Structure 1
């Protein structure tokens, strides 16, 4: 087989050859397994890039999750919680070694968690008083109960690294994990290489070497999959999926995720300062058409915040979000917005002209935004679409200038969606969640759920929270998300992790 040429695949997109030259030619099937995805590497510290070290199976966490999001043992063999919910005890697995040969102990696991806790991240969500080693277990003491702590301990920012990984200030300067692969090369922000770690406690993986390349453009990833320069191309746009399905050398995989394309809106801005105004915006959206025509994924129009695949948070008894442009216009007119000569609604002489921000990191977002622009126009909203950097959305939230934004929100950043909900809809709002919206009943229900240990009561509270979000629409669901990837047919065992925690390297093998 002729050698694969990475530069040749990228040349049509005018990427710099000098960027790729220092790396050796990629190996043929049976050698290195090469992955391309849009995520840049922020550096060696888990607070910056733990999600990539977790996906490449370099670093591991105390707890894991199964494909339904239920907590499972990881570097801790089990966990127990005191009757008052304030003390969590996690016995540490014996016989585990870091990639520098150091043995995993309760002491160095607790130290790694303390380093993680000292940085901005998910551990801030729980009111942790202390993290300490007691015998062969890590013991976490809380100031108040936090039922989803298990999910925080599975988050990528809490991966456990060897003591030699950390500098004097507690920031990781090396990535010495416990996973089935050890890091052999790291060149932030674009690439890394790993090789199998033969002393891994869970057994030797069949694929011995792998590389990762960050490529932000969807066309780049598609070309690499087509040409064989990537064995796994992650996150594809709809036109690329259709093209790659015709390629006999790759298989296109797809799985629903707890991720949604949603509209973040300023609930302090008329007419969205009322639930009626927000509902009118929702009723103007033709979700089924967007899902079928643009995303080529019929059935993914978001009738509520969470899709059926997130069973704990999807309520089949909720009245679904509907499309009704005429009713939307009537709601807005009842709020005092009357159509002008150009059809644009106006109130007190001010036309309803808005700016919708979105970004191109996810190639489907600008497509959806343009279609929404037309749908909003049909009910009298004049919306300008601005495709900008994703950072413009939190910046607009912080300075109060944001009006509308279309974003892809991942509610499984922590495996339990409740943790993300807590942050997104907290009092005062958040960068990617609500803006100028507060509901006392919502906050009371979330507080009760945090402390509840009764499964029936937890279900009731989740349904109550879902109903409030459906009724009040602090964000407007548009389309549920499906993750896609193209993988070479030269391997077996490939699958997409619905919680996006792993590329699945250790479960794959080259076909004979």
Structure 2
């Protein structure tokens, strides 16, 4: 009797490894570059928030590899002869994760909220008169004036994309992040499993209906091949890479350059360029308080630092993985000219000229507080380089290390630098996210409504608005050149060059797509 009673238990014991193996095969385990601090991908421009957003939400339009808008949740769009009424028809059968249908009213509320938060969105929102619908599947956008780049706006792929959420969430205050994650994307956010600093989890949404066709950037068929996606938050990058080598995780989003040799020769791991357009390293100044409310001092910094010093730190010195770009737009974008050849690094290596130039700026020894994201492999070295170069140039520098989440909160402060505020922080921007005057948050002159740092320029905003309205290529090129020249004079932010980040994943994964973030669709295990 005892032996017979033990047989089912023995069978269950034998089944557990197979069950565990099956669950493991059905789960994609990713190590993101940083922890997920803000859940709202419209409220936050952080790369990790955008990546989270593409798991949970979808957009009316996406873009292909040539940055052309393509229907996504939409079947298509039409525009009236006078250019002032756009009609967008939704695909049939779209549903949110709470099993409610996606309606035109949800889309209108989502676009309205997004247009109050995003740089491109605010330009779009200023042209909108009202929304209405002929039925739940047709959204009509009535404009005050023609807005030719409407689909480019609502289909932008990065930095607060126009994600669609239920009306009840989208009607929340635009100055407060949404915390309930209900989208219509390929994966459901598992709020009850969120363990800050450790785990973010998603489950496949079986009600999601992918478009037909192959995926390309943020458009096409977003097929979710895994039942579950887990983000394993591993702050120590070497530990994350070791977990990848041992098969404990499947994917390391951003492979630090100094760890690439550990996996480059492994047959179990693939290493690839993550984004063909590259990622721009950016130094952001605080324009609201001294000392960088002084444009002469910002131009001085542009003249004394050198891009290779920064690029080498994030690429392990491998010059094939980076590109100098003496411009305020990414040089990987077709048509961008290096208009800053005479301005960038013009004083570097000449201490006597540097000292004289600093005197002419009127700098009076004010403290320069650099807040630095010490937990980010791509950002942490930038603060160290800037602190060293500015000290050598004669500035009074205070480098303060913190985690990325703390930095995101600290950068909202407009207090004086020596009273809990800040002077400089560093960030990264995918090239596609800052490709033209309206998208380029790093130089937009929106003041208090814009990116922390709060550069204000009515002239920059005028040029941006004219660029948006221009229909002739020659006119757009002229206006972009004028905006570029203004940015070189005012230095709202300082580009530090472009690097091409590497991503690493287990060799049994196929279908990994390039782009500004790591997309969860199309990936499968073989």
Q: Same fold (TM over 0.5)?
A: yes
Alignment of 1:325 with 2:334, yes or no, is no
State the alpha-carbon separation in 2 of the partners of residues 53 and 106 from structure 1.
24
Q: Hey, what does 1:394 align to over in structure 2?
A: 411
Q: CA deviation at 1:237?
A: 2.6
Distance verdict in 2 for CA 1:286–1:167, change over 3 Å: closer
Distance verdict in 2 for CA 1:248–1:333, change over 3 Å: same
Alignment of 1:31 with 2:26, yes or no, is yes
Alignment of 1:142 with 2:143, yes or no, is yes
State the alpha-carbon separation in 1 of the partners of residues 224 and 145 from structure 2.
44
State the alpha-carbon separation in 1 of the partners of residues 223 and 269 from structure 2.
22
Alignment of structure 1 residues 215-254 onto 2, 5 Å: 215=233, 217-219=235-237, 220-254=239-273
1:459 to 470, 473, 477: 477
Alignment of 1:262 with 2:262, yes or no, is no
State the alpha-carbon separation in 2 of the partners of residues 308 and 218 from structure 1.
32
Q: Normalized against structure 1, the TM-score is what?
A: 0.76
Q: CA deviation at 1:330?
A: 1.9
Q: Normalized against structure 2, the TM-score is what?
A: 0.75
CA deviations on 1:326-362 (whole Å, 9 max, x unpaired) are 557525515636xxxxxxx997xx5465332222242
Q: Hey, what does 1:159 align to over in structure 2?
A: 163
Q: CA deviation at 1:207?
A: 2.1
Distance verdict in 2 for CA 1:332–1:475, change over 3 Å: farther
Q: Hey, what does 2:308 align to over in structure 1?
A: 288
Alignment of structure 1 residues 94-109 onto 2, 5 Å: 94-99=92-97, 102-109=100-107
CA contact (8 A) 2:311 2:496 kept: no
Q: Hey, what does 1:12 align to over in structure 2?
A: none
Distance verdict in 2 for CA 1:249–1:411, change over 3 Å: closer
Alignment of 1:385 with 2:389, yes or no, is no
Alignment of structure 1 residues 259-408 onto 2, 5 Å: 259-266=279-286, 275-296=295-316, 297-298=318-319, 299-311=322-334, 314-316=336-338, 319=341, 321-322=344-345, 324-326=347-349, 329-330=352-353, 332-334=355-357, 336=359, 351=365, 354-388=368-402, 389-391=406-408, 393-397=410-414, 402=421, 404-408=423-427
**Any gaps of 5 or more consecutive residues in structure 2?**
1-18, 213-221
1:61 to 59, 71, 79: 59
CA contact (8 A) 2:281 2:497 kept: yes
Q: Hey, what does 1:74 align to over in structure 2?
A: 72
Q: Secondary structure at the residue paired with 1:325?
A: coil
Q: Secondary structure at the residue paired with 1:67?
A: coil
Q: CA RMSD in A?
A: 4.0
Q: CA deviation at 1:211?
A: 1.7
CA contact (8 A) 1:256 1:482 kept: yes
Q: How many residues align?
A: 471
Q: CA deviation at 1:263?
A: 2.1
Q: CA deviation at 1:477?
A: 1.6
**Any gaps of 5 or more consecutive residues in structure 1?**
1-23, 338-344
